[in-house]
A and B are shown apart, each in its own frame.
Chain A
Amino acid sequence: MSTIKNFFASRWGIVSAGIFVGVFAPLLQKWGNPGNMGICVACMERDIAGALGLHRAAVVQYIRPEIIGFVLGALIAALLFREFKPRGGSSPVIRFFLGFFAMVGALVFLGCPWRALLRLAGGDGNAIIGLAGLAVGIWIGVLFLKSGYTLGRSQKEMKFSGWVFPIAMVTLLILLLIAPQFGRTPEGTPTGPIFFSEKGPGSQHAPILISLVVGLCVGFLAQRTRLCTMGAIRDVILIRNAHLLRGILGILIAAFFMNLILGQFKAGFSNQPIAHTNHLWNFMGMILAGLAFALAGGCPGRQLFLSGEGDGDAAIFATGMIVGAGFAHNFSLASSPAGPGPFGPISVIIGLIFCVVVGFTMREKIA
């Protein structure tokens, strides 16, 4: 067991996890997921929010099994390697809203950091602007971290508290499979409470079992190797360490070659799948997302893997993201291929103000 453990903690461990994501994300797209969206934590949580009726954007509603797999795969890895440690209580309300605004920023860009990498690997030049924004956001977060920013210590919690989020994921899986239709439209046709898109990105998905199994494997590998896109950039800026960066380079390079092989590579800025070309708000959206991830200590994927380990604070962040997705569509904050939503820009500015206030107020003098 310790040999396996050491492998995962090694340079090749993190590279393998990255390559796994980079190989299977384009394959998931081939098997049915939307363009350059084989895996996207933000988009997939947004689809889940829609499927639960938290927003009613009819084209982005589906319970994505990948997300369920990420949490449960991480749970299995954590149990197997004795790392399942229920904990929480480190400024949960702040974390909820960091998750909320991280989602707003990600949906103005149209993707989480993983999707930014996958978009780049698919030839979408707009992703470069998004990744630049992400790096700037993380850099601002590092400045706060260096000057004593902290959300405070977490406390050990009772065993069951660590099980709540994984159980919620199992519940989502059941809802995906039975998709209850209790509601009736005025015409009498069954509708809701679970909504699945009939057209648009929400209707495009790989078979449930494949999505779930890939999600479980990614969750397992990422829990073991601590794969994190935000951490990758942060560690380079903060301590000049490229360990995590190797993971995201693994994703990028593997996905690039897979896209070439599968005929999914198309270079350019315009007419890219589920993307817009407004450089300013692609950039600003990802500054907000990057800063929120840095202040919360992990990218959206990492927050799910931590939730699987029993980290209640990460689970609150993830919940904030799902609620944020509901608001992003209900309040016309989310972008579409046509460009930013009417209130996208102002919501990014509000989010940035929130993050900066959090950065300046949540601090203690470093000993």
Chain B
Amino acid sequence: MSNVIDARGLSCPQPVILTNKKIHEMGKGIFEVFVDTDTSKENVSRLAQQLGWHIEVNRIGEDYHLLLTKD
């Protein structure tokens, strides 16, 4: 099972749905999400924080790389 979600180009709320699904599948651990809009970055970050995951955001060119972790 891949630990990378490529949500670039997907419209709201699909990046959130994919992230939510992954969080519930994994319970804890580490995975990455790629998004291409600020809105998706904010929405995924908000969801992760709401569910107690730590999130690290890096900008790569026009896209965002989000690293989600939970011990």
Alpha-carbon distance between A151 and B12 when the two chains are bound, in angstroms: 11
In the complex the two chains form, is B9's CB within 8 Å of A231's CB?
A: no
Known: A85-B37, A85-B62, A366-B18. A238 touches B13 (CB 8 A): yes
Give the contacting residue for B9; candidates A145, A153, A367; CB below 8 A: A153
Chain B contacts of A366 at CB under 8 A? Answer: 17-18, 21
Size band of the interface chain B makes with A: 20 to 34
Alpha-carbon distance between A87 and B12 when the two chains are bound, in angstroms: 14
Question: Residue of A at shortest CB range from B1?
Answer: A367
Q: Give the tally of cross-chain contacts (CB within 8 A).
A: 56
Alpha-carbon distance between A170 and B50 when the two chains are bound, in angstroms: 41
Chain A contacts of B46 at CB under 8 A? Answer: 241, 243
Contact pattern, B 13-32, Cβ under 8 Å of A = 1, otherwise 0? 11011101100000000000
Chain B contacts of A235 at CB under 8 A? Answer: 13
Alpha-carbon distance between A155 and B16 when the two chains are bound, in angstroms: 19
In the complex the two chains form, is B9's CB within 8 Å of A87's CB?
A: yes
Number of A residues, CB within 8 Å of B: 27
Chain A contacts of B47 at CB under 8 A? Answer: 239, 241
- Give chain B nearest CB distance to A144 CB in angstroms: 11
- Give chain A nearest CB distance to B64 CB in angstroms: 12
Give the contacting residue for B13; candidates A81, A90, A155, A297; CB below 8 A: A297
Contact pattern, A 44-55, Cβ under 8 Å of B = 1, otherwise 0? 000000000000
Instruction: Name the residue among B5, B21, B38 with the largest chain A CB count within 10 angstroms.
Output: B38
A154 interface residue (CB < 8 Å to B): yes
A202 interface residue (CB < 8 Å to B): no
Give the contacting residue for A156; candidates B14, B18, B50, B62; CB below 8 A: B62
Give the contacting residue for A90; candidates B9, B38, B39, B42; CB below 8 A: B9
- Give chain B nearest CB distance to A293 CB in angstroms: 11
Alpha-carbon distance between A298 and B36 when the two chains are bound, in angstroms: 18
Chain B contacts of A156 at CB under 8 A? Answer: 36, 62
In the complex the two chains form, is B17's CB within 8 Å of A145's CB?
A: yes
- Give chain B nearest CB distance to A313 CB in angstroms: 7
In the complex the two chains form, is A83's CB within 8 Å of B14's CB?
A: no
Interface residues of A in 132-190 (CB under 8 A from B): 145-146, 150-151, 153-156
Question: Residue of A at shortest CB range from B12?
Answer: A297
A9 interface residue (CB < 8 Å to B): yes
Chain B contacts of A83 at CB under 8 A? Answer: 37-38
Question: Residue of A at shortest CB range from B11?
Answer: A297
In the complex the two chains form, is B50's CB within 8 Å of A150's CB?
A: no
- Give chain B nearest CB distance to A352 CB in angstroms: 22
In the complex the two chains form, is B12's CB within 8 Å of A298's CB?
A: yes
A234 interface residue (CB < 8 Å to B): yes
**A-B CB proximity, top 6 nearest:** A153-B9, A297-B11, A154-B9, A297-B12, A83-B38, A226-B39
CB<8 Å pairs between A and B, sample of 29: A81-B38, A83-B38, A85-B36, A85-B37, A85-B62, A87-B9, A87-B36, A90-B9, A90-B11, A145-B13, A145-B14, A153-B10, A154-B9, A154-B11, A155-B9, A156-B36, A156-B62, A226-B39, A231-B13, A238-B17, A239-B13, A241-B46, A241-B47, A241-B50, A297-B12, A297-B13, A366-B17, A366-B18, A366-B21
